[in-house]
Amino acid sequence: MIKDDDGSIKPLLTWIQFEAHSNQGLYAKGWFFLVHEAFKSALDIFHVERINKEKTPLLRDSISFTLAGIPHQKLKEKLKSENIQLKNSDLHNKIMDHKIKDLVETQGAQMKFSFKKGDSLETRCGNWCVQVDQARDDSEEKMGNVGFSIYEKQVATDFQGVWKKLDWFNTSQAEFVRLLETGSCEKIRL
């Protein structure tokens, strides 16, 4: 959690959605900086497998019908009536081995951010960019930090953009993520 400007507690992140931007991939929707989907792991977004609780029973019923001629629930009742523990039934275990898994995208419950040295991100408007010069990941024991340079785009005489270094800041990984999302953090407002 982070305190907002008015002192109220602000949740660190709402669920991050990604959307297409300029046919160059998916970027965090509505964020001040263009945060590409390649940074999902740095934002503690990962995939987990979960058993599909709607489809798996249907699959197990189908297999039970094929192997025993009765629905899976009826087979379990039959085994119990015969005083056979389910875990000791080869037939039941064979049916239970089958499951349908879905890949679900999720964020860590206690988000641990991990931006790395060399990570560079440009703002959506194209006027600023940040480059991480040093970093320590968040861990269970303590918050990590990010040392970063901020650059502003200057127009040169040949109308090409030239990046001018404005300053260097050091902040927590969480505050750095807040900067990427909103354009401001405890150290700077863009």
Q: Give pLDDT tens digits for 91-107.
A: 999 999 999 998 877 77
Q: Are 22 and 28 in contact (CB under 8 A)?
A: no
Asked if the model's pLDDT at residue 13 lies above 60, the reply is no
Give which of 87, 84, 105, 110 is closest to 97, Cα–Cα. 87
pLDDT at position 5 is: 52
d(CA 184, CA 3): 13
pLDDT band at 48 (very low <50, low <70, confident <90, very high): confident
pLDDT at position 102 is: 87
Is pTM beyond 0.75? Reply is no
Using one digit for the tens of pLDDT, what is the confidence trace for 161-181? 688 999 999 999 999 999 999
For residue 121, give Cα distances in angstroms to 40, 44, 45, 98.
14, 17, 18, 44
Q: Where do the structural domains in the chain lie, given as residue ranges? A: 2-44+113-182, 53-99
